[in-house]
Every structure is written in C-alpha cells, then in structure tokens.
Chain A
Amino acid sequence: MSIVDTRTPDPKRFIAGATGDWEIIVGMEVHAQVVSKAKLFSGASAEYGADPNEHVSLVDAAMPGMLPVINEECVRQAIRTGLGLKAQINPRSVFDRKNYFYPDLPQGYQISQYKDPIVGEGKVIVSVGPDSKGEFEDVEVGIERLHLEQDAGKSVHDQHATMSYVDLNRSGVALMEIVSKPDMRSADEARAFLTKLRTILRYLGTCDGNMDEGSMRADVNVSVRRPGGPFNTRCEIKNVNSIRFVGQAIESEARRQIALIEDGGSVDQETRLFDPVKGETRAMRSKEEAHDYRYFPDPDLLPLEFDEAYVEALAKDLPELPDDKKTRLMQDAGLSAYDASILVSERAIADFFEKVAEGRDAKQAANWVINDLLGALNKSGKGIDETPVSADQLGAILDLIRADTISGKIAKDLFEIVWTEGGDPAEIVERRGMKQVTDTSAIETAVDQVIAANPDKVEQAKAKPTLAGWFVGQVMKATGGKANPQAVNQIVKARLGIE
C-alpha cells in the first residue's frame, strides 16, 4: 500500500528538534467493541462485568467440533458504522483466521477479516482547536477500512503465585477494527480524531466508547519526518486506553524518535507500549520477532454477502450524525459554530439540548445548557447522563422566565435549588414566593420609598441619568430581587423624570 500524503506541512504544527523542525505523522487502528447482546460467532452474552468465565459458550472455549455462526446484529452494526464514516460498504467480505498461540485465545486463531473487509475507505472531519487565536481548524482524516473480528479472552497473572488464570468472558466478543490513514500531524489532531470517532460511534449506538472498560482501544502508529519530506519508519504503540494517553504517547514517542535520529541513529520498526506512569513508550517486540499470522479464509464460514437494499434500509434508519446536526443547529436555530460544536459533541448533550429547545428560544436554551448545565456538571465532575436537572426541569425554568414569572437572576437561583433539591420548578417558585413582582403599585411604593429616603441622589440623577441604575438596584434589593427589572426601570425613570 502506498501512502498518499493528504496534508500540507504547516509550521504551526512543527516541533523543534536540536537540528531543525520536525513533523509528526500519526495513523491509528481503533478497536471498538460492537454494541450487541451476543458475541460475534456465538450466542454467549457480550455484557461487561460478569464474574470470570460466566459468559462462555462451547464455541468461545473452542471445544472440539464447535463451529462459529455469524451474529447478524454485529454485521448490521458494522455496516451502520461504515455508513457513519461515509465509507464504502463491501457487499461481499471474507472472514479469515489469524493464527497464533496464546492461552486466552482458545481456538489458536482469531477470526478476523484480512483481505476483504466489510467496510472500505471513508473519512472523518475532525475539528481541531481552539488555537491561540481561538480559531478551530477542520481536518479530514481518511479511513482506510473497517473490519469485524473477535476479541480474545483475558489472562490474569496476579491471582496465583506461579499460575496464570484465563477469563474467557471477552473471548469472541465482536470488535470493529477501524483503521485510519496516516493523515494526522499532531497529538492534538490524534486526540481530536479519537474524540470525534467516539462521538460518531456513540451517535450510531454501535460502540459505547467507554475506554476505561476497554470497549475502545487505540493502536497508534507514529513516525517523524522533516516537514514535507519522505516518510520515515514508524512505531506502533499498542492498546492505548484513554484519549489523554494517546496525546501523551504520541508526544513522547515523537520526541524519542527525533532524539534518536538527531543522534545519528535510526528508528526500528517495532511494537511499543505506553507507560502512563513514566509518560513514555517502551519496546514490546521488534519486527524480527513479529508473528507470522498465516492468514487464510476461515473454511467454517461462508463469505459474508448482503445486497444493496439491506444497506439502503440501514442507511435510511441512521440517526442524524454530529456534523449534520451541527449544520442544522447553525442554519435552523441560528447558533454559533462554537455553541453548536459543544452541543453536538455528545449525542446525550445534543438530545438534552433539543428537548429543552423544543418550542422554546433555541439561543436561550443553548446558553442555559452550555453555561449553566454543562458548567455545573463540569464543576461537579458529572456526565450528562448523571445530570440532576432534567431537560424538562430546565425547560420549565425557561418557561418561567419567558412568562415573566421570574427574572433571569432568580432563574439562576431556581436552577441551583432544582440542582440540589430537585422538584418541579413552577411549584418551587410558588412555594418559596420567588415570583417576580409585576404588580405596578407595589413596585411604585418601593420606588417612592427609595426616592424619599435619598433626596441627594435624586438631585444627582437629574444631572446624571445613568444613576437611575442605582435606584433600580436599591428597589430590587428592597424587593428581594423579585421585582420585574423592566418594570422597576420604567417606574424609576418616570418618577425621576428622566428618559
């Protein structure tokens, strides 16, 4: 495979070495566990978190005479993912055996797809930034292919002094291996790619993207070169399990390679591991020790074939994806690119927002979701799925503002109360007497009291009309913030005789 360089070298992405600038080249292989009740070739549960060896069928344990049977749901999910990656769907693909010995690989081979994957070339648009000027840059990262394969089991080495244990719960679970082209040129871009890929998978519901549970892992290929120069030898960093570590691994690996070359050495093609504690990569095995996997078509499985209509039906039922949603929020709801990006970054946030915005002012809804809700969630370290304030509750708060029942300021207090105590916002406002005073006579009384108590200020205000604000503040204070600010403003100005 020849590598096509799709990117123009840009000094803003260069990193300085002792002998000049360098450019980082990154490509990724992401293993994403397919959302499916059962495993790829057996009926055993694919659920995470069971006791060891609870979810193991005769097929998963590779008992003699057992045969794999393809799980159609996993095929459906792979096609949907391919569609989400704007990729070519191959109506005929082939399962191959990748042969190697390991105790947690019961068959002695992994069923994967080698020459004929289910999904071909596609692309992901990644928004990278903001840079120092607050600007975002859209980068297109090519997808080389996506294929289906089985996960292996897990070897457990810390349960016994001399023996290792094997847990086959994961054995045979369906994975999608998504291979990018080497189109990324910085750790930031790599992080943004992985984040975006995860967002797309979560929108599609084809992978839960939980990297800490291992449902998504990345193998990162890193090389360095002189800007615009020929590609160099790459190293593969295996099984990086967080987006942050991907960034760290790339930076430290690039530094290592630059130092090596600048010292007159060369990079050996090898597989490396990232040590998050030390923040550096170390060699795992070199190319010479690389396995010969002896791939060949699995004779237990017929080629996987489906027709155009099957793919079309899946395409028709695909949910709106983040890029499309972002465009729609900008065009139809008039949101800024920045706000729209934040709202579509997670499907759950977008869903939350759309529920709040339904039948309400979209910009106001966006402000509340982004500044108040996401702000509060961020501060308390909670995810959108753990929000104490539901979309209905936030919507009710916005309705109270719109009906002039409460002021924007009171609304912030109300949000706090709903956050900590829960409850129906309208009912809380009623019970706690938070309703804004719109009764003109009551406001007039309060204004008159403030005016009477401050004759000097009244004089000053006649010369300097901006002082009206001070009176408004005093009245708000006297009414415990409940007075309608516009009404107070009008009455103050009328009483002071200023316009």
Chain B
Amino acid sequence: MSAEDGRRPSDAPSHQIEELERVTIRFAGDSGDGMQLAGLQFTNTSALYGNDVSTIPDFPAEIRAPAGSIPGVSSFQVSFSSHDIHTPGDQPDVLVVMNPAALKAHLGDLPKGGLLIVNTDEFTKPNLRKALYAENPLEDDSLVAYRVVKVPVGSMNARALADSGLNTMQIDRSKNSFALGLMFWLYERPLDSTIRWFEEKFARNPEVRDANITTLKAGYNFGDTAELFPVRYHVAKADLPPGRYRNITGNAATALGFVTASKLADLPLFYGSYPITPATDILHELSRFKNFGVKTFQAEDEIAAIGSAIGASFGGFLGLTGTSGPGLALKSEALGLAVMVELPLVVAMIQRAGPSTGMPTKTDQADLLQVLFGRNGESPVAVVAPATPSECFTYAIEAFRLALRHMTPTVFLSDGYLGTGSEPWRVPAADELPRIEVKFAKDADAFNPYDRDPETLARPWATPGTPGLEHRIGGLEKADVTGNVSYDPDNHEKMTRFRAEKIARIANDIPDLEVVGGESGDLLVLGWGSTYGANLSAVIRARKEGLAVSCAQLRYLNPFPSNVGDVIARFDQVLIPELNLGQLAMLVRSRYLVDAVSLNKVTGRPFLIAEIEEKIHELVGSKVKV
C-alpha cells in the first residue's frame, strides 16, 4: 500500500495539519456495506464537534440489490464546515469507495484532484465484472487525475478482528467501522460518540459491539501509523447561534413537530398511515411516542389511513396522515371529503420521483400541482412547505395551527431530500413555543354546523360526545349555516366561494415572504421547499461577485403570502428553480402575470449550487457591478 498522492514530497514530515473551511465526504459501497451507518456516525461526530453539517443519503429502493452490482450501490454524503452551510455540497472532496461498483457509480462526481480512498480488497475479477469494468481501474491509468489512496479495508479489518470470535461473514460486516475510523483520523474527529453508539446499539450483542469498537480504533490507528496521508485536515467549529443543538433528519423533525403540536394544542394525536417511501420514518418515529398519548394506526391502505385520520378529526382530536405521491393519489377522494366537511386534518406529504411508482428513494418536487389541484371539484386546501430538514419541525406545528384555526385540511409538503437529509437543529425550549388555541362548539342554542367565524370563515368544531350538538355531516353539498344536504344552485356557488375564500384568508394569518439579499434588483431567485439551500448558496456567491440577485423561498404555497406580487414586481427578472417541469412557475406566471424563467431538473437529485449559479450568470451575468 502506498499513498499515491502526487503532491507529497518524499521527505515531508508526516501528518501536517491543513486548515479547511469545508469538506464534503461521500461514503459509497454496496447496500450491505453499512455506508449509511458510517455516514451518520461521521455526521453526528462532526456536529458534536461543532461544525455545521448537512447530509444527503442515496440508496437503492431494493432492500438487497445483487451484491456488487451498480444498482446495489448505497451512498451517504456529508458536508461539514466551519461556517453556516445550506446544502450537503455539490461535489465530494473525498470519495470513499468500498467496491468497484461504487467507484463506477460515483467517480463521475469527484472533481479532478479529489481524494479517492479505495477498498482494494473488493477489486477482484468477479466484482470488476459486476461493475462492468473490463480492466481493473486501480491498475491502469484511468485514475491519474485523482489522489488515490489504496487501503485493503477488508483484510485490515479481518486482521484486526482475527481474535474476535466472530465468523468471517460477521467480521466482514464491520469493515465500514474500519473505514470510518480511518476517516475520523484523517479529519481529527474523536471516536467517543461512535463508541458510545456501538455500546448502546449492540448492548445485547457484546461480540459485535467489541468488534466494531476494535476495528474502528484499528482504522484510526492505521491512519496514524501507515503514512498514507501526508496531511490531516482540520475544520474548525462553526459560528452557529448559541444554543443547544442536535443533528436531525427532516422526517425525524417532522415527527417531533407533530407530537409538539399535540402538546401545544393539548389534544391527543392520531396518525393513520400506510408504509411508503420516503414517508415511513414518520410512522416509525411517531409510533415511539405513545407516552405522549400518540396513537398510530398502520392502516390496510392509503385510503384507510386518511379515512381513519378524518374519523379522529371528526372526534375532536388531531387527525394526521402521511404519505408520498402515489399514496396521495389514493387519498384524493377522502381529502376532498375533508374539504367538504371542513375538518382540521393534516396530510404529511413527502414527495418522491414519479409518476406512478417512479423512483421511490429519489427526490422530486413534482407533486405540487397534485397537492393543490389533484381532487375533483373546487377543493382548496392549505399548503405549507418547509425549506430545510430542521424547518420540518416548525412547519409541522404550523400545519396543525392553520388546520385548527381555519378548520381546513392542510398539507405539509416535504420531499425525500428534506426527509432523509439532516442538519443541526437548535433545540427549542418547549415552554417557549406558542400554544395552539383550540375552540370547540359547546352552546347548543347558538349552534349551526355550518355557521362561520366572521374573520376566518371557519365553521364550528362540534364533536361527538357534546350534548345538544348532534348533527350530520358528509360529502354531499351542504346548505349554508344548517349543513343540511342541498342541491340548490345558488347555495352551491356560495359554498364553493366560501371554501375558496376561507383558504384565501389564511394569507392574513401568515408571515410575509422574506427576501434574502437586496429588497429589489436585477433578479429574484424564487423557490419553494428543499431548493432553498442551493438557491441561497448560489445567491450568496452571486452577490459576492457584485450581482444584484436576491432570493426568496415560499414556505406557504396555498395561500401565497400577500406580498408575493409586490416582491416580484421589485425585480427585473424572476428565476424559479424547481425539481419538476415548472409547476410553481405555472402558478406564479398565471397569478402575477410575470414572465418568470424556469430552471428545471428531474433527475431524482437535488439542485447543485453550481446549476443555480450558472443560470444566474446566464440571466444577469453581464451586469456585474464593478
């Protein structure tokens, strides 16, 4: 083994420390190689150390694609930095590959000169064949553009665990820990958090626990003694706002937000859901929160999931369902029912690439129009969309606040990138969170099921068990005030307009769209949801170059904040980057009659900062102010 770092002078002192602002590492291997685990541990350790972090996992939809095949490659990218970062990085600086398939799948993303750490043990003839390599890339000159470090991870790990008492297969499963240890050494990370994690995770399996700890340390020590790397890297602590932090994925934050909403509203939460990628984590998380009175219901199908949630809402509880695109399609009719009966229901919708089954583990924003319009009849719902993993917490609470105050189904619109990505979350103090006010109808004398609050147009919430308020609701059109079935033409028009106006008035209850950068200028980058990180990073760079570019991220998609039209009018051009073929752009163009420019991407992957930057340059690049 030798360090093939062309830059290393032979007499250099080993282990200089080089200071870096930001490093992006991608761990890639077979889906059985434990890359997600290695990535997560590296992330947690870096976060604990005080870096800002941002992550993106990428894994196949198959539980076990054929071992060693390209479709079976699983990866985890973590970016960590000494300053505030908003994306998991466009390209990795370091690529760790555990087999030829991982090299084949990911090498294209590694910039020339990037550090490539290769587990040489897996570069056997059969594995090379599975990865469609005619020649061993480690033995020809195909990798000369990279700083290649060859490490026999598998055999080093096996040697470290020779006395562990585990069999060959069990030993091989620990090799990710060896690689992780090596990366910890390279970036000066402490091992203690990961050791603690092994101790908890494998408490009942001491042999496996000890093996992982042993090989983790072996990997670390190997880095120290093998002189593979001339330099170690140091990424200083980030200057984050003071507070207590933890690293959190979007889906975990979503689940925490919902259970928090339940506490803030002082109403038990019901979650009806059918397992579907990438929303299932929310079901897993919420099912752990039983001591908060949360009742989770794994329904027989998507329709039962939303139906049961509507039943809970009808009963006066927090009715919640969660799904992804195909599931929302199945829920459409029931969501329309919730519109008609005007109950406070929340639908957590975690988008993935479609249509149909599409690419379940890949991200997308192509369900915006489905969420807004994918039902029969005029059936408006409120829609909120978090922009970062940790914001999922805030907007899960906000979804319930709006649903309860305005008596409307509300969609919490996230996506796979937000849901599975992670970042540090500044943990709030529970007692500082504003309570959610809930009003139930009680007074039988003054009760009509479809009376409306003069301000919000919300109807009263009268729940079974309340004496004197017995009434019937349903999917047939309701007569104004009484809620009786009505086929009266004028009534239908009136009720249709009430339902629309009720949603429109939510604009009075939400904050204005915030502009980052100048309040006016040559270009506004207008986005929604998970494009935030890339948009913001690109705009920051453009502004450093002197371009009059700003960005704004819509967190409310129905209704829009009331100042959107004014904001748009203050810029010469509007660019709308979306992971679809222009759905927000269609809405903005029709609503505000502005010639917005779309930037579209539907690869199942989030935008790179560079892609947004390039478009900014194309539109206003000539306008650099000197």
Indicate, yes or no, whether A interacts with B.
Answer: no
Interface residues in chain B, defined as those with a beta carbon under 8 Å from any beta carbon in chain A: none
Interface residues of A (CB under 8 A from B): none
